[in-house]
Structure 1
Amino acid sequence: MKTTRRKFLTSVSMLAATTAFPINVFEFGKKEKLKVALVGTGIRGTSFWGKRLVDEYSDILEFVGLCDVNEGRLSYAQEYIGTKCPLFLDFDQMLKDAKPDLVIVTTVDATHHEFIVKGLKAGIDVLTEKPLTTDEDKAQQIIDAEKSSGNSLIVGFNYRWSPYSTKIKELIASGTIGEITSVDFHWYLNTYHGASYFRRWHGLVNKGGSLWVHKSTHHFDLLNWWIDSDPEEVFAYGDLEHYGKNGPFRGANCRDCSFKDKCEYHFDITKNKRLMDLYVANENFDGYIRDNCLFRDEIDIYDKMSAQIKYANNVTVNYSLTTYSPFEGWRIAFNGTKGRIEAALDIPYHQNTAISQEALHAKEMDQNAMEEAKTESIIVHKLWSDFETVKVPVEKGGHGGGDKRLHDKIFKTPTEKDPYDRSAGIRDGIMSVLIGIGARKSIESGKPIAISELTALEPSVKRLK
């Protein structure tokens, strides 16, 4: 039986709905390669969705087009990724000429919807980086486009795929502590990782939707997945008190700043050849500065955030995000009818951590910086009983090992049934960003925001697959 690349894509599309087909139907290696086009050639696009795909899956896929508004970055991307495919400044032209099976979107967050909608309407399946989009109107455009096109959208949520996050899901789903009633979730970005968002385009709401959307969508997706329900209402507080206009001084960029000797946040981009080649060498094409001053006046996102989220199944969540913590890590606690689960990663005083916070961030972002598996603990405390420590093997590179597992699922084993339901589709993407969008609106209005008022999707007591 001849298997076409379109049938392969159908399986990937169904993956978003957690429907599985027998893997032998697709006979990998006995058919034409998947034709992939990438729009957005920044760090994430050229590395995780670019070079890594060529390095790991070139036997089953090939790039047929790269697109970006910056022609210098395009040329660099072609060489770095390791492809000889055509380059395009115009996305519509790429779709017409390259005729891809799959479009991967890794552009500025606020433009995701534009390429997702065009791809779906052109009869092409789309895979997008998180966040899906940045406001409710764009979210509705994506919902309408997928519904009318008959094609499907996959959202690249990688944190679900880390062994540690998966173990938490397993413990909750198995009823270890009964029904979940409330959750406390706190995420800490250190002064290397947290500050980096304020240097880049992410520091502007009209580009990244604020960290409520760009960063916290990761965390909200985990919550939705763990709790297995949809958010119903959100109330939030937030402010900009540390970065932006609050800084004691500011310069044009870190390279040329006259305060570099006294600024504790000084970032020397000249020490990073990859960033110099990708961004600095191509500033003249679009004016984008990668090492911008994080105290510049135009920054308008929040640097401290706290939210109360109510779910359709009556679970309540207390969430916070800190962007200038001394360390990078997170803590979560689930209260249930039969006990409590406590989990935490990268809290330095929980283990004797010798690596610096700067090196820790660099390792986490590098898919090639895998370490030997270590173990981290999850505490399970049942009512009327002593606590139990569950040891989980973990990895530090590539978002806790989630990156490579997500790739393998999409490109190697798309048809295998996943007992943990980790594959994410359009509803997952929408529900995760709507919490962040609702939080932003709540701060602006001083009122709780109903998720059902934002798009046509109604929250469900049980998360819909």
Structure 2
Amino acid sequence: MTTSRRKFLTSISMLAASSAMPIHAFDFGKSKKLKVALVGTGIRGITFWGKRLVDEYSDILEFVGLADINPGRLEHGKKYIGASCPTFSNFEEMVKTSKPDLIIVTTKDSTHHEFIIKGLEMGCDVLTEKPLTTDETKCRGILEAEKKSGKNLIVGFNYRWSPYATKIKELLASGSIGEITSVDFHWYLNTYHGASYFRRWHGLVESGGSLWVHKSTHHFDLLNWWIDSEPSEVFAYGDLEFYGKNGPFRGKNCRDCEHTANCDFYWDINKDKFLKALYVDHEKHDGYIRDNCLFREEIDIYDKMSAQIKYANNVVVNYSLTTYSPFEGWRVSFNGTEGRIEAWLDIPYNKNVAVDQAAMHAKEMEQAEDQEFHIEPIIVHKLWKDYYTVDVKTEKSGHGGGDGRLQDKIFRDTQSVDPYGRSAGSRDGAMSCLIGIAARNSIESGKAIKIESLTDLKPKIKRS
């Protein structure tokens, strides 16, 4: 075993073992590049975990294999990434042939477990996009596979790494409002971003586990990290009242629909050269339609969601997700024994500015380094005293600046200690998706769901 490989295994083990202590990122050494294989060449795979790695870290890593079930998208993805490695339609063949050190999983959510488990069993460390998985059975399988394999799993939570989210963590950890007692957290998806989920495979529970899992896992991970505890019980409500069968009309897809003149949600994917080249040009291979009608009958996920989450340390959270808001943004408020913190992003009327909602979402998703910065406030109220404002320098691109910071910690910043514990392992991935899974089960059963009833994990009162 080479020195660089030994360092890699040691550091990745530290990272995955616990995110509650200061952790060094991977230390690959300089004598040998890290061998990376990617499975899933959709948009997140070829951009953030593909091209960006080639552009930013080619001196320390190299792609040795790409895999996907769609041969057209696979070859297009290889060119877009700028990789010179072989491509494979069979995942196991790729692993056996290319012998990667690290496998990155960016497939459909419902298949994450297949590649995570197989990768671990075949002797590789694995990094997966969120969510970890879509139901409790798959979650148990992943946790058991990691334990048996002796290998390690990392979950790519990026929101923790944004400067704004980090400042909230810093204020809470410093005791600025004493002990946290309750939290209100509300996320609003606009009719550009929110609607997009209902066009895609995310609109089916069997594929994405519902937005309780695919989208809200981001938010639940932030809550677990901010509160520094783990969830113990969830009760939830949800319904499908806007999209799906509730629509006034429906068509085959946006390109082939007789209602384009009357539909406020009409979207011409062919005008987006990137998406056309990635999806439309290759849909003949697997039948995946990227611009499906968001009023189609088969949609079975919720479009309005509300949950109450009780934590092991007795903090109570009120959470909601709206998928058809006029604007995109979020609010969070923390009540404590010594005060209250209020924070928000992208609430347009708070700044009295007009916002192009479509352009805002595109900006968040782009990977180019943001040269435009904004100052966003966090309000800290103290009992018996006046409030004060904490101004935070923020970015818009790359999920609020979180994307680049996450990858720098994983692949470049090998020596510094992170005082905020932002690196996420399998337990973090499980505890975030299990809240969404519990919420979904609660709606179906009408009962509160204990987190420890879903897996062998027992919620910790304190993460750190």
| Count of residue pairs brought into register by the alignment | 462
Contact 1:5/1:31 (CA < 8 Å) preserved in 2? no
> Which residue of 2 is the match for residue 274 of structure 1?
274
Change (3 A) 1:401 1:317: same
In structure 2, what is the Cα distance between the partners aligned to 1:58 and 1:165? 29
In structure 2, what is the Cα distance between the partners aligned to 1:317 and 1:69? 40
Q: Are 2:217 and 1:217 equivalent residues in the alignment?
A: yes
Q: Are 2:120 and 1:120 equivalent residues in the alignment?
A: yes
Partner SS state of residue 74, structure 2? helix
In structure 1, what is the Cα distance between the partners aligned to 2:300 and 2:23? 47
Amino acid at match of 1:322: T
> Which residue of 2 is the match for residue 424 of structure 1?
424
Deviates further, 310-319 or 352-361: 352-361
Amino acid at match of 1:374: H
Shift of 1:463: 1.5
Partner SS state of residue 64, structure 1? strand
> Which residue of 2 is the match for residue 303 of structure 1?
303
Change (3 A) 1:147 1:27: closer
Change (3 A) 1:459 1:433: same
Change (3 A) 1:20 1:275: same
Deviates further, 10-19 or 204-213: 10-19
Name structure 2 gaps, 5 residues minimum: none
In structure 1, what is the Cα distance between the partners aligned to 2:35 and 2:230? 34
> Which residue of 1 is the match for residue 50 of structure 2?
50
Contact 1:48/1:367 (CA < 8 Å) preserved in 2? yes
In structure 1, what is the Cα distance between the partners aligned to 2:200 and 2:288? 9
Paired residues for 1:30-179 under 5 Å: 30-179=30-179
Alignment TM-score, normalising by the size of structure 1: 0.97
In structure 2, what is the Cα distance between the partners aligned to 1:26 and 1:246? 52
Shift of 1:116: 0.3
Change (3 A) 1:21 1:389: closer
In structure 2, what is the Cα distance between the partners aligned to 1:14 and 1:69? 33
In structure 2, what is the Cα distance between the partners aligned to 1:216 and 1:284? 32
| 1:356-377 CA-partner distances (Å, limit 9, x unpaired) | 0000011111111624221100
> Which residue of 2 is the match for residue 258 of structure 1?
258
Change (3 A) 1:135 1:415: farther
- Alignment RMSD (CA, Å): 1.5
In structure 1, what is the Cα distance between the partners aligned to 2:215 and 2:221? 11
Q: Are 2:342 and 1:363 equivalent residues in the alignment?
A: no
Shift of 1:204: 0.2
Contact 2:233/2:449 (CA < 8 Å) preserved in 1? yes
Change (3 A) 1:26 1:165: closer
Alignment TM-score, normalising by the size of structure 2: 0.97
> Which residue of 2 is the match for residue 330 of structure 1?
330
Contact 1:235/1:308 (CA < 8 Å) preserved in 2? yes
In structure 2, what is the Cα distance between the partners aligned to 1:242 and 1:445? 23
> Which residue of 2 is the match for residue 385 of structure 1?
385
In structure 2, what is the Cα distance between the partners aligned to 1:242 and 1:21? 44
Shift of 1:417: 1.2
| 1:248-278 CA-partner distances (Å, limit 9, x unpaired) | 0001110111111110011110111111011
Change (3 A) 1:37 1:27: closer
| 1:75-109 CA-partner distances (Å, limit 9, x unpaired) | 00010000110000000000100000000000000
| 1:411-457 CA-partner distances (Å, limit 9, x unpaired) | 00244211000000000000000000000000000000000100000
Change (3 A) 1:90 1:262: same
| 1:28-62 CA-partner distances (Å, limit 9, x unpaired) | 4x311000000000000000000000000000000
Shift of 1:297: 0.3
Which consecutive aligned stretches of 4+ in structure 1 deviate over 3 angstroms post-superposition?
Answer: 18-23, 25-28, 352-355
In structure 2, what is the Cα distance between the partners aligned to 1:303 and 1:189? 10
In structure 1, what is the Cα distance between the partners aligned to 2:320 and 2:23? 40
Name structure 1 gaps, 5 residues minimum: none
In structure 2, what is the Cα distance between the partners aligned to 1:287 and 1:243? 22
Change (3 A) 1:49 1:172: same
Partner SS state of residue 233, structure 1? strand
Q: Are 2:298 and 1:316 equivalent residues in the alignment?
A: no
In structure 1, what is the Cα distance between the partners aligned to 2:15 and 2:443? 36
Shift of 1:292: 0.4
In structure 2, what is the Cα distance between the partners aligned to 1:434 and 1:175? 28
Contact 2:65/2:87 (CA < 8 Å) preserved in 1? yes
Contact 1:189/1:324 (CA < 8 Å) preserved in 2? yes
> Which residue of 1 is the match for residue 399 of structure 2?
399
Partner SS state of residue 350, structure 1? helix
Partner SS state of residue 417, structure 2? coil
Contact 1:54/1:81 (CA < 8 Å) preserved in 2? yes
Amino acid at match of 1:411: F
| 1:306-363 CA-partner distances (Å, limit 9, x unpaired) | 0000000000000000000000000000000000000000000112434400000111
